Structure 1
């Protein structure tokens, strides 16, 4: 099933499977979200929960008991329930069940809240701890922005001047190797060569927004004030770019395996709710 919301400027369509945004169009019917061609990558904008990235050996422990989780967790592959809808907003809910408890021994509710405001789509994540005791988790976004022109016609404009140090992945884990991206007036031209070693992982950034320029003109802006980390990713010759605000990231080789000790993990107290939001604006 799918749900569509709209206002006078935009329309957004969301699959109930994974509560995944798969279309964002303006009132001229121009599409801004990647179509999901499986020849390149068969998703559009998956939710990453209860982990972001990859665990060492795809395993972790809680109180000495070992569990397995696939890369980016399980929420993106589960059916969400639509619990509220207006013309311009929709709220989706995923609750823990017997199957999730086998992989992740915590009772929770995860809500995704989509709201259109003028030329922006707000995507809010709400994590509710319904477990007895503290709950460790990570959460992140993975929207793929469609790039209809030649890839090299695009560039990133970072909000602030900064040293763009990113961490290299090795076997899907974060290594100790880093590189620094050179920018000119906060601009970073896009080339496929940037992504020849997979995603660019920024653990911290001063910038809290990133604008895609198309032939030097503003195209799309992503604001991620609530997210300290960011991933950037595409595949060779693919006509999209993923701008991924994260709270958490992959393990390192030195990780102990205890989820509570994982670098970048969040810990939510019993009966507490965690909120975060990012925004995609059509320019």
Structure 2
């Protein structure tokens, strides 16, 4: 059975499940909840970790060195039971290591560690991938956190995503769950995007590059959450039409391209990790007072 760990300080409280090392709640000391509650009427996820792929594979299969393996959307980590490796009042570290079950679909010896840590009003979530084998290891890694929309005390206000770099990154859309690489006009205007549920009628908005390393998500005249990304060059925004959440998804890797290769190593933005090497990916979010 999964276990749940609570970490926190005088400002923030975070609950994390051993199932998927997935954050289940993010609350400030005044009782306001910033993370989506996981209502099954819309979507049961809250903040899944995506590994060893981000998004879908053609026919839910990936090729690795020419051998074909089954691979569900977003990989298997989010449905895997992690082991609690360390914890303090303000930090918890969960680990997933290769097993016979994972090798049957992903033939590599890996360790995936997910660390949640709070300091002041800042939460940092870090994913650390180690290649414990003797061959180069391809993978994608992504975060898929769903935050409240509307934010606390911000019902009826416009909600805005603002890129710190003031960029207007090109948009791509999904076609049968796969990336249609044809670029579309950016919905950002000088880094600013006023959110509308109609934007998500065609599924996620995906920005393969150019969104930068930091952004804010907030309500006009209301609370604003500030994000920073490390080693996460791709960005997606997603919700289901009329659902009360917004997923802010920094990735290193995307879904396969429609009509493209099924080889895992050839997916967009795939990391190829050398034997014995470690790759780290992280995001921070500052919760408003």
Q: Structures share a fold, TM > 0.5?
A: yes
Aligned residues: 283
| Structure 1 residue aligned with 2:255 | 250
Tell me if the contact between 1:54 and 1:250 (Cα under 8 Å) persists in the aligned partners: yes
Long gaps (5+) in structure 2: none
* Structure 2 Cα separation of the partners of residues 139 and 280 of structure 1: 18
Tell me if the contact between 1:192 and 1:237 (Cα under 8 Å) persists in the aligned partners: yes
* Structure 1 Cα separation of the partners of residues 22 and 139 of structure 2: 20
Find 1:262's aligned residue among 261, 267, 271. 267
Q: Within 5 A, what are the aligned runs for 1:93-104?
A: 93-104=95-106
Greater Cα offset, 256-265 or 197-206: 256-265
Tell me if the contact between 1:154 and 1:216 (Cα under 8 Å) persists in the aligned partners: no
Long gaps (5+) in structure 1: none
Deviation, structure 1 residue 130 = 1.1
Tell me if the contact between 1:61 and 1:258 (Cα under 8 Å) persists in the aligned partners: yes
Tell me if the contact between 2:254 and 2:267 (Cα under 8 Å) persists in the aligned partners: no
Question: Are residues 151 and 82 of structure 1, via their aligned partners in 2, closer, same or farther at CA, if it must alter by over 3 Å?
Answer: farther
Tell me if the contact between 1:19 and 1:92 (Cα under 8 Å) persists in the aligned partners: yes
Find 2:222's aligned residue among 217, 224, 235. 217
| Structure 1 residue aligned with 2:202 | 197
CA RMSD of aligned residues (A): 1.4
TM-score, normalised via structure 2 length: 0.94
Deviation, structure 1 residue 184 = 4.3
TM-score, normalised via structure 1 length: 0.96
* Structure 2 Cα separation of the partners of residues 107 and 257 of structure 1: 21
| Structure 2 residue aligned with 1:117 | 119
Tell me if the contact between 1:125 and 1:276 (Cα under 8 Å) persists in the aligned partners: yes
| Structure 1 residue aligned with 2:22 | 20
